[in-house]
Structure formats: structure tokens, C-alpha cells
Amino acid sequence: MNAQQTDIERLHLRRALELAEGGRGRVSPNPLVGAVIVRDGEVVGEGFHAEVGGLHAERAALEDCRSRGVDPAGSTMYVTLEPCAHQGRQPPCVEVILEAGIARVVIASDDPSEKAAGRGPGILRDGGVEAEFAAGEEAGAARLLNQPFRKHARTGLPLVSLKMAMSLDGQTSTVPGDSPWISSERSRALVHRWRAESDAIGIGIGTAIADDPLLTARDIPDARQPIRVVFDSKARLPLDSQLMRSLDQSPLLVVVAPGADSTALRGAGAEIVVAVGIAAALADLGRRGITSLFLEGGRTLAAAFVDAGQIDEARVFVAPILLGEASRLTAVDATEDTLITTRFKEW
């Protein structure tokens, strides 16, 4: 059942959401989860899922509770995702909740995966625990927190986020001789953080040849490097490109069309994905456990994904400059561009 929370309960749920962010970029393909334990109006335990294979948020919060010397029996637990009831890298969370004597569990969002989907709350209720789903703003925030996990659970496909930078007149590249950057230095730093938070980064072969990018997350402490993906139907990626010369930093997947001669790329260490169309390529990425794909390609790749109906959200930097035929770009790094985020689908 869904229930409206009091102001103080909403405060605890917001704290659980804040805690969940501590695992961003470190727990995929698992979801981001935070938990808060409250007894007699006082917070007695907090935790979040910090890394793949590590304690789930509920167990981390109970460990914190015990480290404070508090018996959690009779407490209320606020958790951002329904507690799991299956054995994975960690034992089922419902078991430890029941063992701890938690009296009530308030859950911000459901888990749409086949192995969950309401099982945890049902087991808790059968064990005498009052389990309820939250309603309102915090419930919506909890769903948005785990869009890659939710889409992958429901469709087997990764969430696709498109990043672009453009001028006021809609140009996405500068003229030869000018700075190659349209976005500001601050925005480019943000892009590196997004890379570290994504399972994979995708570009088209045009961008790969023109820009020779590295596509790693830089200047991010302890960053997990994403898988690099090049959509290259004819297998034209140069063997001396930065992507090919940095296979020791992160894996490289090259998506080619059937019949493309990818022998040289494969022999040099790239992993080849043969697919007919974008939907088939995304399905292959999903089967590899990739839950989020961050697109950094140019107009051609963006248009192909739009035509295929495979863009979930767009993050567009708009710089206060004109790049038309008569315009020249100067001092781009000093511009204060604007980020516009549009979500096309919610999972």
C-alpha cells in the first residue's frame, strides 16, 4: 500500500535519498540505495550501498545502529528501494530486517526487476513487519535516482543520455582555426563526472576520426573508467587512435555492421559487436550488464538515435555565442553556458 508521510518522515526519506548518492558511479549494475533507522524519534542508524559486492544499505544501516550501541528492535527503517528477498552477492535484506526486530519499513520506490517486484515487502508483512510504500515527492525522487537500473530491469536495455554543446544559432562545431570547445571549462569538468557515473560512453566513427578522443573520466578521484563504445559500421577506426592505444585504461567496444572487416581491430584488442541497427546494438550492451550509455557523439549519431527512438534524456549546453558563417569564436573558456536537461522517458 502507498501512504502519505508526515513532514518528519519525509525528512528521513530525504536523508535516505541523500545517503544513496554516496554510491553513485560505484555500484552499477546494482541500484543506488540509502537507509535510515529511527527509534523513538531519534536517528540511530544510517547506511548506503557503497560498492558492488558490499553491504546493502539496510545491512549497513543496521551495522551503524549496532556500532552506536543501540538495539534496533521496534524501530522504523526508511529505505529508498524495496528490500531484496533474493540471494545475490549479499544475503537477502529481508532476513536481517526480520532478525533485527524492525517494526516498520517505509519504502520510497519499488524494484521492478523480475527477482524482486514486491517479494520483499510481502515477506516482511508475513513476518509481522508493517511495510508501506511512500507517496509524493520523495517517491518520485527515488524512482529518478535509479533510472538506469529501472530501465535495464524492465527492458534489458541501457538508459541512453545524449550530451551535446551548441551555440545560440544551433551550431555544434567551430570553424577551423578557432578553439574546438563550445562549452565552458566548468561544463567540461561536469562531463568528466558524468563519464565516471556512466557504465559506457558512446561516440560515432566521425567523431572518433575527427577528434581522436580518449573518452576517459579525468580529474575525478577514484573514478571508475567507463567502457568506450564506437559506432563504426564499416570498422574504420584507426589502429593508432587514442582509443586503440589506451585499451589498458578501459575496454573498447566497436559496433560494426554485418560483413564489415573487423579483423584488424579485433586482433589489436578491441571487442567487436556485430549488430543491425541501434536497437540491436543496445540489446547487446544490455546483455553485457551495461545499464547506462552516455552519448558524446555529434549530430549524425544523435540523429540516428533519435530516429530509432532510443534517447531517454538529453543534456545540452547552450553557449551565448553565434557560430554562423560570418561569426568567429573567441575566448570560449570564458563563456557561461547554460545546461538544459530534458527527460523524454521515465522508467
Q: What would the pLDDT profile of 318-339 be if each residue is shown by its tens digit?
A: 877 667 654 444 444 445 778 8
Residues 59-104 pLDDT 10s = 999 999 999 999 999 999 999 999 999 887 888 999 999 999 999 9
Cα dihedral sign, 93-21-294-223: negative
CA 218 centroid distance within chain: 17
**Total-model pTM:** 0.87
CA dihedral 93, 97, 103, 109 (to 10 degrees): -10
Who has greater pLDDT, 340 or 150?
A: 150
* Confidence class for position 173, pLDDT limits 50, 70, 90: low
CATH hierarchy code of domain 152-343: 3.40.430.10
Position 19 pLDDT exceeds 90 = yes
Position 182 pLDDT exceeds 80 = no
pLDDT for 118:
82
Position 151 pLDDT exceeds 60 = yes
- What CA–CA distance (Å, rounded) separates 207 from 238? 12
Position 212 pLDDT exceeds 70 = yes
pLDDT for 175:
46
CATH class of residue range 2-145? alpha beta
Lowest mean pLDDT among 98-112, 188-202, 224-238: 188-202
Cα dihedral sign, 150-151-154-158: negative
* Beta-carbon-side half-sphere exposure of residue 249 (alpha carbons within 13 Å): 14
* Confidence class for position 5, pLDDT limits 50, 70, 90: confident
Give the H or E element holding residue 231: strand 227-231
Residues 274-311 pLDDT 10s = 999 999 999 999 999 999 999 997 889 999 999 999 99
The reply to whether 21 belongs to the active site is no
Position 159 pLDDT exceeds 50 = yes
pLDDT for 321:
66
Q: What is the mean pLDDT of residues 32-56?
A: 96
Q: Of 46, 58, 138, 296, which one is the catalytic site residue? A: 58
pLDDT for 332:
43
What ranges do the domains of the chain cover? 2-145, 152-343
Q: What is the mean pLDDT of residues 168-172?
A: 63
* Confidence class for position 177, pLDDT limits 50, 70, 90: very low
pLDDT for 21:
97
Who has greater pLDDT, 259 or 330?
A: 259
